[in-house]
Every structure is written in structure tokens, then in C-alpha cells.
Structure 1
């Protein structure tokens, strides 16, 4: 007998937390090597606290996942020139 749990094709397993429900700014896709502090440094006058306030789904500021979509609030979303920065379209947006 196996200790592993079996999943059928109707069950979904997700390691990446869902994006914030609403975002009054831009969405950002977390990349390999990112931390909240490195992401904050990519924007003018951004702090880790700003990111945490806009993303209540992040319960531990030391744990984010590659592919996770987070919100960068508009009030501080002035981009510092950074070639590896990628942004995501809002969920359901065809823009």
C-alpha cells in the first residue's frame, strides 16, 4: 500500500498562490531570483510594505513563488529601467 495520495483528473493542485482579486496598479509576474525587496527596488519610491499592503494573499514576506502574480500599486508604480521586468495582464483582460 502506498502512502501517496492519488489525484484524479478533476482535481487541481496548485503551488502558486492566486493573484490578488483587485489591483489598483499593475500586475507583476515573479521571476526566478526575485524577492519582495528586489521587486521593490525596480520601482521608484516602492517599499516592501507597499507591496504587502497591495497583496494581502502574501502572508509571509520571505516566501514568494516563481510565476506568482502580484500587484504593484499605481501610486508607486513608476518603473526604474530594468530589462528583465515583466508585467502580466489583469485576469480576463484582452488588452
Structure 2
């Protein structure tokens, strides 16, 4: 699962590989489907608490959902936008944008 937190809003998508394909690292694949999903309340509450504690307004944390349907945090908030356009323009990451 990939979540995107912007301010106080959380967006999430389930990433699925095509049938018969085992994927351990989805970052280099362009054949995955993306399905919008709801974030469990306890996960959303925890994410917003962590964002507040770290003073972030943007992050893109990843999760794995186990066989018991428990969301397991992968351990990286991905608080920057990676992309040549952003770097070329010398813009600061959204993680450091003002909140007001």
C-alpha cells in the first residue's frame, strides 16, 4: 500500500502486480494496477500523529498488509518528491512547505 499524506488528508492505493507475477519491489515496475482504498482509522490516526511530531505536511509512507489484514509500516515516510522537474527548479520538498 502506498499512502500519500498532504496536510491532514490521507490518500491510499493498493498496488497489484499482474496475475502470476511475484513482485517484491514495485518501484521499478510500470505494469502494476493502482486501486484507491480506505486507510484503517488506527493507521490514519497514527500517521497524522507522526506527521505532527515530525513537523511534516507531506509524506508518502508505504505499508504491507499481512495475512491477518494488519497494516505493517515499511519504515520510510518518503518525505520528498522525487522528480527531475522539482530538482531542476531548485524547489524545496513539500515536506517543508508552510502549513498556513
Q: Same fold (TM over 0.5)?
A: no
TM-score w.r.t. length of structure 2: 0.23
Q: Which has the larger radius of gyration?
A: 1
Higher relative contact order (CA 8 A, sep 6+): 1
Give the number of the structure whose residues are more often strand, by fraction: 2
Give the number of the structure whose residues are more often helix, by fraction: 2
